[in-house]
Amino acid sequence: MELDPDDVFRDDEDDPDNEALRERASSKELVVYLVDASPKMFSTKCPSEDQKDESHFQIATSCILESLKTQIINRSYDEVAVCFFNTREKKNLQDLNNVFVFNVADREFLDRPTAKFIKEFSRLEEFFMKDIGSQYGIVSGSRENSLYNALWVAQALLRKGSAKTADKRILIFTDEDDPFGNIKGGAKADMTRTTLQRAKDAQDLGISIELLPLSQLDREFNISLFYADLIGLQGENLAQFMPAAGERMEDMKYQLRKRMFKKRIVRKLTFSVANGVSIEVHTYAFIRPTVLGSITWLDSVTNQPIKIERSFICADTGALMQEPPKRFQTYKNQDVKFSVEELSEIKRVSTGQLRLLGFKPLSCLKDYHNLRPSTFIFPSDEEVIGSTRIFIALHRSMIRLKRFAVAFYGTSSHSQLVALVAQEEIIDSGGQVEPPGMHLIYLPYSDDIRHAEELHSTTNASVPQANEDQIKKAAALIKRIDLKDFSVYQFANPALQRHYAVLQALALEEDDLPDIKDETVPDEEGLARPGVVNAIEEFKQSVFGDKYEESDNAGHKKVSEASKKRKALADSAVQKSVQYNWAELADSGKLKDLTVVELKIYLTAHDLPVSGKKEDLIKRILTHMGK
C-alpha cells in the first residue's frame, strides 16, 4: 500500500504533517533582490569558468537564478521579489521611476517562487533590453534618485508579514561603488543623506540590507565610498567585508539542494535525575533520513489531486462498517480481543518521561547497540529553574569520567531503554560543528539483537584467524587508504540529488538533466596509486598466497542452485534465440504468430522481464529492438 512514503521513516516524534504546518506558520524569509541594471553592469565583462565573458549583470542574475532553484526545494515557503533599478521602464506599486519589479502572472510581487517565475527569469536576457531596458537613473541636473526609489520599493514590498514571524532582507547587487559620484555639490550631499535615511528607516523596521558588490577587473569595489554607511559597516567588519562577499556569491550559486528544517523542539521532557528531582530538557531531531518530500497522488488523466477514502468491510458479512474499536489476536484457537484503550495502557509502562537509571563506562556502549537515529537533548530553564545548571554539571562529569547515562524513555506510544551520551561542543572555522548537549541513543532489547555470527561457529575445530604478519600487512594497507579529514557531512545523497534534478528539469521543462555527481563512489585513481597497489598486493600475498584467483573462482562456484538454474535457462535461451530472425519477424509483424514460449526465448536471452500477456511481451520485444 503506497499511501505515504514518508511513513517508512516516520517515528512517533517526527510528524511530517505537523512539520509542514509549522514550516508555514513559523519564521520564513522574505527577500528582495535589488539588481543594478545600469549600462555599466552590462559593459563590464569578466571571464567566467567556461572562458566566455560574462557581464556583471549576467553574474548577478545567474547567481539569483541558482539561488531560486535551490530555494524552491529547500525552503519553498520563503518569498522573493526580483527588482531591477536603473531601468528605462518602470513597474512598481509606487510608480517610481527607474525601478522595475520583475514578475509573472498569478503571482504577487513578493511571493513564493514558482516554476514559471524561475523559467521566465532564466529567459531574462532575451527580453530584458526590449521590455525593461537599462538607463542611468542618477544624472546630474535631475532630482531623480533611482537607488532611493529602489530601496523605497523594496521596503514597501517587505511591508508584508510581521517582523516577528518573518526574516526580511534586501540584497543589493551592484558594481557602482559611488552612485552619486557624478552629482556635484549640495545635491550630492542631499541625495546621499536622503538615501541613507531611507536605508536606516528600512533597517529600523527590522529589514536587513546586504550588499553583494561586483568588482571591476582593474579596480576593487570601494565599499567605504558610500555603501559602508548604507549597510552600517564599521571598523573590523569593514576590512573583512570584501573577501567575505566573494565567498557569499559562490555560496549562493553552489548551495546543496536540501530541504531545510527549522530548529524546533520535538518534545519537552521531564528528566528525573534522582529521588523525585526532575529537570526540564528539550529534544531536537538533529539527524533524520531525508525523504523525497510528500507525494500528492494525482489523476493521471486530469492531473488533479485525488483523495483516498478508506472503508472498513466486515470479512464475514460484507457489511460496511465504522472503524472497529477492537483488535484481536488469535491465541490458543480463540480470538482474544483488546480495546484500543487497553492496548495503549499496555504500552504506557512508565509515567515519567525520561528517567535516569545509572551510569556506565563508554566502552559498554557497543557498536551494535543502535536501532534508530539519535535524538539531541538540551536543557531549558523555561519551566524548571535550575535545570541547565544540573544538566551542565552532569554533562561535564560524564565527559570527564568517560561515562554515559542509561535512562528509560517512556512515552505513551513508545518506550525504550536509551543511552545518553554527552557531546562536547566542537567548533571549527566555519562555526559550530557539534553543539554541546547529550545525544539520546535508542538501545535494543535482548530480543532485538540477533546472533548471526554464531550460525557459522564451528563445532570442533577453531575457525581460522589472521596471524601477526597478515595483521601487519592489513595495517599497512589501512595506512595507505586513509581518509584523513573524513566527515559524515561530506557526501550528498546521490539518489536525492538526482530526484531534485529530475523534478527541476520537469518543472522548468529543461531539455537535459543537470549532471549530478555521485560523490559516494570510491576514488579509483587514488586506489591505483603504486603505493596503494603495492600494499594491496602484499596483503593479498600474505592472506591468499597465490590462490587469490582460485579463491575468486571458488566463490563463483558457490552460486546458489536457483541462480545456476537461471543461468542455464538464459544460456539455452541465447542458443535458441539465434535460430530466429527477430528483426525480420518484427518488421513483418509476424511476432504475434509466435507462441508465448517462443517470445520468452527472446526476452530471457536479453535479460528482460517475461511477465505479462502476449501483447505485453511483443511490445517489450519491439521496444527493446528500438522499433
Partner 1 sequence: MARNKEALVLLLDVGPSMHHLLPEVEKICSMIVQKKLVYSKYDEVGVVLFGTEETENELTMEVGGYEHVVVLQNIKVVDGDLVETLKQIPRGTVPGDFLDAIVVGMDMLIKKYSSTNKGKKRLCLMTNGLSPIKDPYEGSKEDQVNAIAEQMTSHGMKLECVVVRESVVRGENVSVMEENDRILNLFPQKSCAKTIFVESSTSLLGALKTRNISPVTIFRGDLEISPKLKIKVWVYKKTSEEKFPTLKKYSDKAPSTDKFASHEVKVDYEYKSVEDANKVVPPEQRIKGYRYGPQVVPISADEWDAVKFKPEKSVKLLGFTDSSNIMRHHYMKDVNIFIADPGDQNAIVAVSALARAMKEMHKVAILRCVWRQGQGNVVVGVLTPNVSDNDHVPDSFYFNILPFAEDVREFQFPSFSNLPASLLPDEEQQEAADNFVKMLDLTPSDRKEMLQPDFTPNPVLERFYNYLELKSKHPDAAVPPLDKTLKRITEPDPELLAQKKSAIDSLLRHFEVKEKPKLKKSTRRMREKPSGSDDEDNYRRISSKTEVELIENGGKVEKIGDLTPVQDFEAMMSRRDNPEWVNRAITEMKNKIHDLIEDSYEGDNYAKALDLLVALRKGCILEQEPKQFNDFLHQLCKFCLQNDLRSFCNFLATKGITLISKTEAADSDVTEEEARSFLVKSEPKPE
Which residues in 534-573 contact partner 1 (CB under 8 A)?
A: 536-537, 539-540, 542-544, 547-548, 551-552, 554-555, 558
If the CB atoms of residues 138 and 394 are measured against partner 1, the closer one turns out to be 394
Residues 39-98 that bind partner 1 (CB under 8 A): 72-73, 76
* DSSP string for residues in 120-151: HHHTHHHHIIIII-B--S--TT----HHHHHH
Q: Of 48-56, 136-144, 308-316, 582-590, which part binds partner 1 (CB under 8 A)? A: 308-316
Residues 366-395 that bind partner 1 (CB under 8 A): 366-374, 376, 378, 380-390, 392-395
- Residue 141 in the binding site for partner 1 (CB under 8 A): no
- Residue 104 in the binding site for partner 1 (CB under 8 A): no
Query: Exposed/middle/buried for 461, CB within 10 Å: 0-12, 13-18, 19+?
Result: exposed
- Residue 308 in the binding site for partner 1 (CB under 8 A): yes
Q: Of 119-127, 192-200, 233-241, 305-313, which part binds partner 1 (CB under 8 A)? A: 305-313
C-beta of 106: minimal distance to partner 1 in Å?
10
**At residue 299, what are phi and psi to the nearest 5 degrees?**
-80, 120
CA dist list (Å): 544 to 118, 465, 466, 531: 58, 13, 11, 20
Q: Of 35-43, 216-224, 314-322, 578-586, which part binds partner 1 (CB under 8 A)? A: 314-322
SS3 call for 566: helix
CA neighbours closer than 13 Å in the CB half-sphere of residue 458: 6
First to last CA, the chain: 35
Helix (H) or strand (E) holding 101: strand 99-102
Non-local (6+) Cβ contacts of 445 within 8 A are 417
Q: Can you tell me which of 119, 188, 499, 576 binds partner 1, judged by CB under 8 A?
A: 499
Residues 501-540 that bind partner 1 (CB under 8 A): 502-504, 506-507, 513, 516, 518, 520-524, 527, 532-533, 536-537, 539-540
- Residue 7 in the binding site for partner 1 (CB under 8 A): no
- Is residue 384 within 8 Å of 280, Cβ to Cβ? yes
- Is residue 337 within 8 Å of 327, Cβ to Cβ? yes
If the CB atoms of residues 115 and 225 are measured against partner 1, the closer one turns out to be 115
Residues 191-230 that bind partner 1 (CB under 8 A): 204-206
- Residue 613 in the binding site for partner 1 (CB under 8 A): no
Number of residues located near partner 1, criterion CB under 8 A: 231
Residue 508: closest CA among 519, 500, 516, 498: 500
Please state, in angstroms and rounded to a whole number, the distance separating the CA atoms of residues 63 and 251: 9
Q: Of 85-93, 152-160, 212-220, 448-456, which part binds partner 1 (CB under 8 A)? A: 448-456
C-beta of 620: minimal distance to partner 1 in Å?
13
Please state, in angstroms and rounded to a whole number, the distance separating the CA atoms of residues 272 and 164: 35
- Is residue 40 within 8 Å of 85, Cβ to Cβ? no
- Is residue 154 within 8 Å of 148, Cβ to Cβ? no
Residues 116-135 that bind partner 1 (CB under 8 A): none
Site string for partner 1, 254-273 (x = CB under 8 A): --x-xxxxxxxx-------x
- Residue 27 in the binding site for partner 1 (CB under 8 A): yes
Please state, in angstroms and rounded to a whole number, the distance separating the CA atoms of residues 54 and 52: 6
C-beta of 53: minimal distance to partner 1 in Å?
32
Helix (H) or strand (E) holding 23: helix 16-25
- Residue 397 in the binding site for partner 1 (CB under 8 A): yes
Please state, in angstroms and rounded to a whole number, the distance separating the CA atoms of residues 586 and 625: 9
C-beta of 187: minimal distance to partner 1 in Å?
30
- Residue 252 in the binding site for partner 1 (CB under 8 A): no
Q: Can you tell me which of 240, 490, 581, 611 binds partner 1, judged by CB under 8 A?
A: 490
Which neighbouring-strand residues pair with 437?
423
Take residue 411 and report the three cell numbers written for it. 512515552
- Residue 105 in the binding site for partner 1 (CB under 8 A): no
- Residue 10 in the binding site for partner 1 (CB under 8 A): no
C-beta of 128: minimal distance to partner 1 in Å?
23
Q: Rounded to the nearest 10 degrees, how much is the dihedral formed by the CA atoms of 242, 243, 249, 255? A: -150
Which amino acid belongs to residue 5? P
If the CB atoms of residues 1 and 597 are measured against partner 1, the closer one turns out to be 1
Q: Can you tell me which of 153, 211, 354, 421 binds partner 1, judged by CB under 8 A?
A: 421
If the CB atoms of residues 129 and 385 are measured against partner 1, the closer one turns out to be 385
If the CB atoms of residues 317 and 579 are measured against partner 1, the closer one turns out to be 317
Please state, in angstroms and rounded to a whole number, the distance separating the CA atoms of residues 585 and 128: 56
- Is residue 53 within 8 Å of 4, Cβ to Cβ? no
- Residue 458 in the binding site for partner 1 (CB under 8 A): yes
* DSSP string for residues in 451-473: -HHHHT--SSSPPP---HHHHHH
- Residue 109 in the binding site for partner 1 (CB under 8 A): no
Q: Can you tell me which of 62, 215, 411, 423 binds partner 1, judged by CB under 8 A?
A: 423
If the CB atoms of residues 49 and 316 are measured against partner 1, the closer one turns out to be 316
